[in-house]
Amino acid sequence: MAPGNTIPYFVTPSGPIREARFIKNSDGSPDGGVHDLFTIAGRPDKPAGCSIQQPDFNAARAANNIIFRIPTPTFGAGLIEAITDTTIKNNLASDPGGKKGSLGIKGHVNTNGNDGTVTRFGWKAQNKSLLIFAGEAYNVEMGITNENFQNEREEDPNCAKNGTPENHSGFNVGSTDPADIVSFMGFMKFLDQPTPVTSYGSVTPASINNGRILFSSTGCALCHTPTLSTGFSSTGALNTKPANLFSDMAVHHMGSTLADGVRQGSAGPDEFRTAPLWGIGQRIFFLHDGRTTDLLQAIQAHSSDPNHCAATADAETAVLEPGNIRIAAAAATFFCGSEANGVINNFNALNSQSKQDLLNFLRSL
């Protein structure tokens, strides 16, 4: 850490590892982007005249203008990438027995603005591919420009002295040298999905099996789809394989309890991708901001006050008129509460042993 920096209040020895986003810019316009934890302020080797300062995280906290994200697990990522859009959309649209409708579960996919295909990586399913996901991580988490994100985020000419992108592929006569983000993409792509266990410690197979049944009967599996299959892939290890991810890859309204006020693509301020649950038994921190280490608290946080509503419409929209395109304010639409409220009510109605069995099942994944 450079001498001109201090350790932000949310960085602690016991974790979690967090990135910080500001909800709004100083002029009140939407921000939502990642802000660097540290800068080169105070380093003896910083370029002459460079006075870039560390963001004022304490002021952002005082203004209730800061939210956090923790890293998403990367195992099984190649399988997620290989699931077809059709599979995701058909699964989301299916509602056997009308259970989704009766519980108020809808959801929608986030999509790429260029080709309309389903995006699926990140807490709000905002990234289309593992290569984009890798490039973004290099840029906003490590400050390394690359072939996906070529521009410095701070372009003060007194500070931006490196040629960009700082990490890039090498092209020489007769040979190529892939950039780091390509290698990182390959690493994530071929990490296998976790293998569930049938028992652990004093937890019996009977308890886990009962928890699996309750996971479905309470409605958890309506969003946390146990298995989606990949499509045809040019990579044999990913070709028509079952991905036991426990997610529908859609984003859902989670209400005020989890809302972070940030929009990404078509995911609104209280919407999040259904987090894959595979490997959850090996995780320490839960939810998008790592706010708890208690799996039961994480489940309860899926419920929100039905009287608290979040705006879901874009702030403005384009209106076509003969010979003219104008920008008009959009009619605000609202969603109240959480799509998971009914499911959490079902969970809370279970007796203590049944709740424990369901938790045991989750920890077996």
The whole-angstrom separation of Cα 299 and Cα 286 is: 9
Per-residue DSSP letter, 236? G
Q: pLDDT of the chain along its 365 residues, tens only?
A: 778 899 999 999 999 999 999 999 999 999 999 999 999 888 888 888 998 889 999 999 999 999 999 999 999 999 999 999 999 999 999 998 999 999 999 999 999 999 999 999 999 999 999 999 999 999 999 999 999 999 998 889 998 888 999 999 988 888 889 999 999 999 999 999 999 999 999 999 999 999 999 999 999 999 999 999 999 999 999 999 999 999 999 999 999 999 999 999 999 999 999 999 999 999 999 999 999 999 999 999 999 998 888 766 444 444 445 555 544 445 556 778 999 999 999 999 999 999 999 999 999 99
DSSP assignment of 84-115: -HHHHHHHHH--GGGHHHHHT---B-EE-TTT
Residue 322 to residue 207: CA distance in whole angstroms: 66
Distance CA 259, CA 117 (A): 25
Contact 342, 294 (CB under 8 A): no
311 and 269 Cβ atoms separated by less than 8 Å: yes
pTM listed for this prediction: 0.91
pLDDT at residue 318, as a whole number: 43
Can you give the pLDDT at residue 315? 45
C-beta of residue 189 within 8 angstroms of C-beta of residue 204: no
Q: Which of 338, 185, 190, 193 is nearest to 280 (CA)?
A: 193
Integer-rounded Cα radius of gyration of the chain: 22
- 51, 158 in Cβ contact below 8 A? yes
DSSP string, 262-286: --BTTB-TTEEE----TTGGG-SSB
CA 316, CA 332: separation in Å to the nearest integer? 9
**pLDDT at residue 296, as a whole number:** 98
Please, which residues have CB within 8 angstroms of residue 8's CB and are 6 or more apart in sequence? 20, 37, 57
Q: Where are the alpha helices (DSSP H) in the chain?
A: 57-62, 77-82, 85-93, 99-103, 130-136, 142, 180-189, 205-217, 295-300, 341-348, 352-363
Measure the CA–CA gap between 304 and 270, rounded to whole angstroms: 11
Tokens representing 147 are 């072939």
